Amino acid sequence: MARKNTTKYAILGMLSFGPRSGYDIKQKIEQSVRHFWSESYGQIYPILRRLVDEGLATKTTEPQETRPDRHVYEITKKGERELEVWLTEPIESRPIVRNELLLKLFFGQNTSPEILMQHIRQFREEIAATLLHLESVKAMCLDPGASDECDDEQAPYSLMTLHCGQHIMNGYVDWCDQTLDQLKELWLDGDQRAAVAEGDEA
Amino acid sequence: MARKNTTKYAILGMLSFGPRSGYDIKQKIEQSVRHFWSESYGQIYPILRRLVDEGLATKTTEPQETRPDRHVYEITKKGERELEVWLTEPIESRPIVRNELLLKLFFGQNTSPEILMQHIRQFREEIAATLLHLESVKAMCLDPGASDECDDEQAPYSLMTLHCGQHIMNGYVDWCDQTLDQLKELWLDGDQRAAVAEGDEA
DNA sequence: TCCAACATGTAAGGAGTTACATGATTTC
DNA sequence: GAAATCATGTAACTCCTTACATGTTGGA
């Protein structure tokens, strides 16, 4: 079957920034890479255990009185090597894109332009929110000392991925606007023209 | 759990264009929507059976002498209604983006700029190939009579999704070029400067 | 002669999400 | 007093791909 298990490397990568718990890793992912990557606890915890089994990470338990013990994982030399090897390998591309909006639009004949326009407006709003988020992360990255998230070494790489997100999101926004115009025309060519004619009679 | 099963609607949508076999559906998907959607036989055939069970499609067997019988599926009124309902519902967004290139780039500290540049060049080539494909599909859509793929009714919707692909792919290309420059600088700031100094001595 | 295309399907299994289980602390 | 956060983990389940099984025809 030979599937990827990219999650393993995503987690190793997060550990390469320093020791972290499963909870920390999840937070970090949500903060920094969520516009192009996500992981759930259901993936993270089992894989952390596996990393220890394979000697790619070590586990230290920090007892806490009131809360569950913190299980902190640290990448090993072997883990670092395995991460480096993965980084060197060509990308298993075919970026799994499944865009439900485009699918609905493609089948647009079976519904009305108005409905499609609503979907696109909703999509556009979500994109705009993502752009705001990207902008705020960027500000954090550029402001030295403002965060322990992004030191000088990491900043350039964080910024490159952020720029990619901004580029693509801006592209979506442009397309949305353009497509909304086109749908409006389709709509005018359709039932609206009839409605206008009816209106004239009244 | 309440998952989506969008595949069901993707197949219903394909059947809305006319009766088709599982094989036909797969071909059609690869031709028309592959830049934002994909399905495998392992999904298509079981779902076609389910559509019949649920009264959303009917199955006709066309006997063929030398090949396996063609099982042709036709959407029912009930199927059309269910497709329309789905088209009306707001998009379950969160477009699952998992971009391995960006993940590797984010962890870039653990490897060299040269390796990252290679990955980006590879990615850029794939994007360029996709752009060519989109252009050819677009030509087919705009050339009346050239294909039974895209009639006048369908053309506007096909074109909108194609434009989205072109927009996004062009955005990727721009970003790739920009990022390649940035990585080159990082690279010069790093080991290359040392190499130049060594070269001076020789 | 071998490969691609035609054609349908099933089985196995990896990938990934969500819900559940548990429970204290802090903040509004 | 309720909700969010801290914190770890498992079980169940869906989704989806890949490999397998089977066999013909036509072209390079």
pLDDT band at A2 (very low <50, low <70, confident <90, very high): very low
Q: What is the DSSP string of B104-160?
A: HHHTGGGS-HHHHHHHHHHHHHHHHHHHHHHHHHHHHHHSTTS-SS--TTTHHHHHH
Is a pLDDT exceeding 50 seen at residue B2? no
Structure-model confidence comparison of residues B187 and B80, the more confident one: B80
Q: Give the SS3 label for residue B56.
A: coil
**Contact present, B72 and B19 (Cβ < 8 Å):** yes
Which pLDDT score is estimated for A114? Answer: 96
B164 Rama sector, left if φ>0, alpha if ψ -120 to 50, beta otherwise: alpha
Binding residues for strand D (Cβ < 7 Å)? A 1-3, 21-24, 27, 41-42, 45-46, 48-49, 64, 67-72, 96, 98; B 1, 3-7, 38-43, 65-68
- Give the closest residue to D9 (Cα–C1′): A45
**Residue A50: partners with Cβ closer than 8 Å, 6 or more residues away:** A8
Residue B37 with chain A: CB contacts under 8 Å: 97-99, 102-103
Is a pLDDT exceeding 60 seen at residue A87? yes
Which nucleotide comes closest to A41 if you measure CA to C1'? D9
Percent of chain A clearing pLDDT 90 (strictly above) = 72
Structure-model confidence comparison of residues B184 and B62, the more confident one: B184
Distance from CA of B101 to the nearest CA of A (A): 6
Residue A25 with chain B: CB contacts under 8 Å: none
Mean pLDDT, to the nearest integer, of B9-15?
97
Which pLDDT score is estimated for A200? Answer: 65
Residue B40 with chain A: CB contacts under 8 Å: none
Structure-model confidence comparison of residues B54 and B198, the more confident one: B54
Give strand pairing partners of A20: A73
C-alpha to C-alpha distances, A129 to B45, B85, B169, nearest whole angstrom: 39, 27, 22
- Give the closest residue to D25 (Cα–C1′): B66
Which pLDDT score is estimated for B28? Answer: 94
Protein CA A113 to sugar C1' C13 (Å): 42
Mean pLDDT, to the nearest integer, of A113-128?
96
Which pLDDT score is estimated for A1? Answer: 39
Mean pLDDT, to the nearest integer, of B164-181?
97
Residue contact B168–A168, C-beta within 8 A: yes
Which pLDDT score is estimated for A23? Answer: 95
Protein CA B60 to sugar C1' C2 (Å): 34
Distance from CA of B136 to the nearest CA of A (A): 17
- Candidate from A36-45, A147-156, B28-37, B174-183 with smallest mean pLDDT: A147-156
For the stretch B131-160, pLDDT in tens is 999 999 999 888 866 666 678 899 999 999
Distance from CA of B114 to the nearest CA of A (A): 10
Element (H, E) at B42: helix B41-53
Which pLDDT score is estimated for B33? Answer: 94
- Candidate from A9-18, B85-94, B191-200 with smallest mean pLDDT: B191-200
Fold of A6-88: Arc Repressor Mutant, subunit A (1.10.10)
Percent of chain B clearing pLDDT 90 (strictly above) = 73
Residue contact B35–A97, C-beta within 8 A: yes
Which pLDDT score is estimated for A191? Answer: 66
Is a pLDDT exceeding 90 seen at residue B16? yes
Is a pLDDT exceeding 70 seen at residue B196? no
Protein CA A1 to sugar C1' C11 (Å): 13
Is a pLDDT exceeding 70 seen at residue A185? yes
For the stretch B38-89, pLDDT in tens is 999 999 999 999 999 999 999 999 877 777 788 999 999 999 999 999 999 9
Distance from CA of B113 to the nearest CA of A (A): 10
Residue of B nearest to A113 (CA): B157
Residue contact A36–B97, C-beta within 8 A: yes
Mean pLDDT over each residue of chain A, to the nearest integer: 90
Protein CA A111 to sugar C1' C24 (Å): 52
Instruction: Select from B156, B157, B186 the Cβ nearest to the Cβ of A156.
Output: B186
Which pLDDT score is estimated for B1? Answer: 40
Percent of chain B clearing pLDDT 70 (strictly above) = 87
* Amino acid in position B161: T
Which nucleotide comes closest to A73 if you measure CA to C1'? D8
Protein CA B18 to sugar C1' D2 (Å): 55
